[in-house]
Amino acid sequence: MTSNQNILVKLNQAGFRLKDKWLVKGVSLQIEKGQIVTLIGPNGSGKSTTAKIALGIYKNIDGEVEKFTNKVGYVPQKISIDWTLPLRVRDFMVLIENLKDEDINEALSLTGVIQLKNKNLGDLSGGEFQRVLIARAISKKPDLLVLDEPVQGVDFTGEIALYKLIKKITDELNCGILLISHDLHTVMSATDHVVCLNGHVCCSGSPMDVAKNNEYKALFGEQASQILSRYEHRHDHIHTSEGEIKKN
Amino acid sequence: MLDDFFIRALIAGLGIAIVTGPLGCFVIWRRLSYFGDTLAHSALLGVTLAYTLEFNIAISVFIISSLIALILIQLQKKTNLPGDALLGLLAHSSLAVGLVVIGFLTFIRFDIMGLLFGDILAVTVDDLLIIWVGGPLILLVLKLIWKPLFASTVNYELAEAEGLNPDRAKAIFTILMAGIIAISIKMVGLLLITGMLIIPAAMARNISSSPQSMVIYSILGGLLSVILGLFTSLEFNTSSGPSIIAASLFLFILSLLNIKQSIKLKN
């Protein structure tokens, strides 16, 4: 099973249950070096949960998760930092790993926030903070990057630039990326493998395969599979509180 | 030189302030002031047990406080009561049990005031040894767990995801808290130890912009408080604990003035 040395993390029928409600169930996927795997799906479909399972944040999970690297960079979807802490951007950069000053500067320059290095973290705008989060995650040159809606709150031109950067980093570091994104256009153009979630895996494969898939069309609408730019979806099924799936 | 009770008290107090500085920063960052209070209250039980069994006070307090911390963690898992209710329950019941036990120990003359508020006359050469061996040990362990503890204080999931072990760091930190309470109880008294942890750190927060500078200012504030407090205690014959805490309050107020000034400068 571990014969392929390029595998960074592997989920086998993984699921997570909070009390009686399944947040996500039966997810199998693997991320290899140099590969971008994207999770898509409507709100509450278990994208962030799947990422947290892969990262080992959730402990009592169903199924299996195997992680073959400890060099991980994580950009969480939500981060609440307590402002009782006096914390500058430069302190935040070395939160988990000690870095050389050049490396800090390089990462901050790449994401376009070098001028904020000595600013207090609490004084940043949402988009600026997001850029700092990405800079921190890439600065340690990880084997595996987990990016949960990494460009939320970033301006339009910045969004494109950051996605380009993410793509460039994958190529340079040959790292694997698990990306969660709502932007289907980006997803389809840069991703190697797409997993479409809706509490379970609806469909997965290359972006073109997924776009042609009927379940995907049902979930995101016809338009999404044609132009892939408009985000729209209809639910073909609903979830009961026990996590069962009922067709409409 | 160590024959002089005041010199002994000074050396003890300075040793304590160096340790409470960084620990106090974490108490503020992690919002643990009531937790500190609970451990300190349970220390009375430790003291009475030490007297009953003719055992070293610091070690006895350390064991009892660790035990209370352990019970707290278990109660948090097993009951649906909110954390602050559990803290209150443990703090007051252990204080009450401690006082009841004292009532039974009629054969020993207790200086309750000294226990609650500290007594500089009570510091022996043995105490100095415990403070100056235990204190650096606490600091060393804190330095070792600094990374995971601080990272998980900022964001637990980030620390967990990127391979640090925040749960272990938290457990070790709890033991360090029991340790500082054990070594400082004679000097500061059990009602005021949390003040010694919080007030210099709060003062430091007002004037620092990075975690490192907050730790350094917190230590300096603690040292200054001890010196000021002990001289006041000597001069006016007041209890050592309240004198030190009052001195740290004085420094805290000064740090507020500093904030006002820097706001004026900005505008």
Residues of B in contact with A132 (CB under 8 A): none
Confidence of residue A220 (pLDDT cuts 50, 70, 90): confident
pLDDT at residue B136 in the model? 96
Q: Is A111 helix (H, G, I), strand (E, B) or coil?
A: coil
Interchain proximity A85–B160, CB inside 8 Å: no
Residues of B in contact with A55 (CB under 8 A): 160-161
Q: Is A182 helix (H, G, I), strand (E, B) or coil?
A: coil
- What is the chain A residue with the closest CA to B214? A86
- The answer to whether position A110 is within a domain reads no
- The answer to whether position A76 is within a domain reads no
- The answer to whether position A137 is within a domain reads no
Confidence of residue B65 (pLDDT cuts 50, 70, 90): very high
Mean pLDDT for B13-17 is: 94
Residue range A98-155, pLDDT digits in tens: 899 999 999 999 888 999 999 998 888 888 898 999 999 999 889 999 999 888 888 8
CATH label of the domain that carries residue B123 = 1.10.3470.10
Average predicted confidence (pLDDT) for chain A: 82
Average predicted confidence (pLDDT) for chain B: 88
Residue range B105-162, pLDDT digits in tens: 877 777 778 888 887 777 888 889 999 999 999 999 999 999 999 999 998 889 998 9
- The answer to whether position B110 is within a domain reads yes
Residue A6 is which amino acid? Answer: N
**Which residues span the domain enclosing A194?**
7-71+142-247
Segments of chain A assigned E as strands: 7-18, 21-32, 36-40, 62-67, 72-75, 144-148, 176-180, 193-197, 201-205, 237-239, 245-247
pLDDT at residue A231 in the model? 37
Residue range A165-203, pLDDT digits in tens: 888 887 888 889 999 987 777 676 778 888 888 888 888
User: For A79, phi and psi rounded to 5 degrees?
Assistant: -140, 125
Number of folded domains that form chain A: 1
Interface of B with A (CB under 8 A): 28-29, 31, 147, 150-151, 153-155, 157-164, 205, 208-214
- The answer to whether position B242 is within a domain reads no
Q: Which two tokens stand for residue B68?
A: 């209370």
- The answer to whether position B167 is within a domain reads yes
- The answer to whether position A44 is within a domain reads yes
Q: Is the pLDDT of residue A226 over 80?
A: no
- The answer to whether position B137 is within a domain reads yes
- The answer to whether position B254 is within a domain reads no
**Which residues span the domain enclosing B70?**
5-190
Percent of chain A clearing pLDDT 70 (strictly above)? 85
pLDDT at residue A66 in the model? 86
- The answer to whether position B247 is within a domain reads no
Confidence of residue A230 (pLDDT cuts 50, 70, 90): very low
Q: Is the pLDDT of residue B190 over 60?
A: yes
pLDDT at residue B262 in the model? 57
User: What count of residues does chain B have?
Assistant: 267
Alpha carbons B79 and A230: distance in angstroms, whole number: 49
Query: ipTM score here?
Result: 0.82
Residue whose pair of structure tokens reads 């009602």 in the numeric block: B191
pLDDT at residue A228 in the model? 46
CATH label of the domain that carries residue A238 = 3.40.50.300
Q: Does A73 touch chain B (CB under 8 A)?
A: yes
Alpha carbons A186 and B194: distance in angstroms, whole number: 53
0.90 surpassed by pTM: no
Q: B77 pairs with which residues across the strands?
A: none
- The answer to whether position A17 is within a domain reads yes
Q: Is the pLDDT of residue A229 over 50?
A: no
Residues 110-139 of A with CB under 8 A from B: 120
pLDDT at residue A227 in the model? 44
pLDDT at residue A241 in the model? 57
- The answer to whether position B261 is within a domain reads no
Those residues with Cβ within 8 angstroms of residue B79's Cβ, 6 or more apart along the chain or in another chain: B86
- The answer to whether position A77 is within a domain reads no
- The answer to whether position B161 is within a domain reads yes
